[in-house]
Structure 1
């Protein structure tokens, strides 16, 4: 299997859907479906070979997202953290243009139409 070198880790399917909408290219996006146990995290790391890849953590700003980010950072110290403004609370509720800007700043190719948007 030809694996992409980068991987984004998000909490849920709606987060993945939002990122896929904004990204210009196919990227591997892993959903944790909430907080992981230590065992489940080890399995995830092994399955996706996360120690050998560029990992980006993109979780919500609520308690479960902060807890998950902390756990992931303990195991994946090389991971880069991507943050949304706490006013949005959840990745899936963050406007596309904001997501596009965050991803572009992390050197992901984004659909340029989303960089032009703004809140009205």
Structure 2
């Protein structure tokens, strides 16, 4: 038996007591967007985050930089919803995604890039 497999019996993932498993520093957890902290926002599903960013809020509409950033976030979230990943949460570790979910995340990254004159050939795997 390989040592790595043998030692994996004694390894466990434990949530940090300081951050509650959010993996954010205290300074990052202090920031709020419309009263919601970043760790709470990332624990929501992609569909819920899209609703949050689609809701009107005056600060975003008054600041051009915030408006541009919110539009980019909305676009990425819409791509993820379009490929059927709306049930995932943003704080989910990538190692826990299935192979199909990882492929769809890569697809949304390609669709979200500003490439022009690009042809995408998508093929279903044959069994």
TM-score (norm. length: structure 2):
0.27
Higher strand fraction (1 or 2): 1
Higher helix fraction (1 or 2): 2
Greater RCO structure (CA 8 Å; 6+ sep): 1
